[in-house]
């Protein structure tokens, strides 16, 4: 009878000191990051009478979802009591087109700068990266004046345009590094067969870069959804994203401060990017491993 050795060696019979220390560190790290989420969740399910007892980590005696209903459609921002529902749809209207446009343009830029390399491409890429390293707060006032002259200030289109501008350096870098790793002979062979710039991109390069599309989309989506400053400056009163409306809810106090409503509103604001990471984690890891962090 032939005994086959385990391909990765024999399984250790007991944990070593190093492994035990590693597992302990990972468990403590997970608890450190999960404890605030747990506290927010249990607080949002308690009534104010129960919260006043001060048992912050205790489970609720009875599940009370009234705070969630109030946070979604009844929490007050100043004199308006509309909840975060309006901000949710505003964030959708801002985030989705901004992600689609920035990822599309960034993919084309990365493809052109890596495989076609027009004259001055290195200089253009360097300027694009340099612009991405400058704090965007410096550009706020010039952009306010520019969008006001274009009649885009205090509009969804204006906020989308600003997010696209600020997202292009990162997205271009991701796609450029991804396409650089693809053998150039593949592009040359397609040119010999008569394919042009757009046909090679749409029929060959873009299908190959689906993992990178997912990585860039996740980065852009979470960054835009979690943005506060750009939405506050450029959106206007009627188009405020969810993060700005959450801030207004938390800082609006009439009578007692409703901690359960504030916690529920915070979780509602964060649940979309968390869901994106959970459901697209496999694609995200594939894209990173395929070259998202390669130089």
Residue 287: what pLDDT?
A: 65
For the stretch 140-179, pLDDT in tens is 999 999 999 999 999 999 999 999 999 999 999 899 988 9
pLDDT of amino acid 122: 79
Report pLDDT digits (tens) over 6-52. 556 566 567 788 888 889 999 999 999 899 999 999 999 999 989 98
Q: Where are the alpha helices (DSSP H) in 118-155?
A: 121-133, 140-149
**Chain centre distance of CA 102:** 13
pLDDT digits (tens, 9 = 90+) for 257-275: 889 999 999 999 999 988 8
Confidence band of 289 (pLDDT split at 50, 70, 90): low
pLDDT at residue 8, rounded to an integer:
60
CATH superfamily entry for domain 85-292: MetI-like (1.10.3720.10)
Residue 121 has pLDDT above 80, yes or no: no
With a cut of 90, say whether residue 293 has pLDDT above it: no
Supply the pLDDT for residue 272: 92
Task: Choose between 76 and 240: higher pLDDT.
Answer: 240
pLDDT tens sequence across 228-239: 999 999 998 889
Residue 292: per-residue pLDDT:
45
Q: Which of 107-116, 127-136, 254-263 has the highest mean pLDDT?
A: 107-116
> In Å, what is the CA distance from 220 to each residue of 133, 157, 163?
16, 17, 9
Mean per-residue pLDDT, 209-225: 91
* pLDDT > 60? residue 201: yes
pLDDT, position 3: 52
Contact by Cβ (8 Å): 266, 246: yes
Tokens for 18, please give them.
């190093």
75-114: pLDDT as tens digits:
888 778 888 999 999 999 999 999 999 999 999 999 998 8
Burial of 130 (0-12, 13-18, 19+ CB in 10 A): exposed
291: left (phi over 0), alpha (psi -120 to 50) or beta: left
pLDDT, greater one: 13 or 119: 119
Range 193-197 average pLDDT: 87
* C-alpha to C-alpha distance for 237 and 231, rounded to whole angstroms: 10
Q: Does pLDDT of 243 surpass 90?
A: yes
Predicted local distance difference test score (pLDDT) of residue 123: 84
Mean of per-residue pLDDT scores for the chain: 86
Check pLDDT > 50 for residue 294.
no
């Amino acid at each position: 009878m032939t005994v086959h050795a385990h391909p990765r060696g024999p399984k250790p019979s007991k944990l070593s000191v190093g492994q035990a220390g590693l597992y302990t560190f990972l468990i403590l790290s997970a608890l450190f990051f999960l404890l605030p989420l747990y506290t927010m969740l249990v607080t949002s399910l308690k009534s104010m009478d129960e919260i006043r007892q001060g048992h912050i980590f205790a489970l609720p005696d009875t599940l009370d979802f009234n705070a969630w209903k109030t946070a979604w459609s009844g929490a007050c921002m100043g004199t308006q009591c509309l909840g975060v529902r309006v901000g949710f749809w505003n964030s959708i209207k801002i985030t989705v087109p901004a992600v689609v446009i920035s990822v599309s343009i960034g993919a084309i830029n990365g493809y052109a700068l890596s495989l076609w390399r027009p004259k001055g491409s290195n200089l253009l890429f360097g300027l694009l990266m340099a612009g991405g390293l400058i704090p965007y707060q410096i550009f706020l006032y010039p952009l306010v004046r520019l969008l006001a002259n274009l009649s885009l200030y205090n509009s969804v289109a204006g906020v989308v345009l600003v997010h696209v501008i600020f997202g292009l350096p990162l997205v271009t870098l991701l796609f450029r590094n991804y396409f650089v790793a693809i053998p150039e002979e593949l592009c040359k062979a397609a040119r010999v067969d008569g394919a042009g710039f757009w046909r090679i991109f749409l029929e060959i390069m873009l299908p190959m870069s689906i993992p990178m599309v997912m990585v860039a989309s996740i980065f852009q989506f979470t960054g835009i959804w979690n943005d506060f400053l750009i939405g506050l400056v450029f959106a206007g009163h009627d188009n405020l994203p969810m993060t700005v409306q959450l801030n207004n809810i938390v800082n609006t106090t009439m009578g007692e401060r409703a901690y359960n409503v504030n916690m529920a509103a915070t979780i509602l604001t964060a649940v979309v990017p968390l869901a994106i990471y959970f459901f697209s984690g496999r694609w995200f890891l594939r894209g990173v491993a395929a070259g998202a962090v390669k130089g």
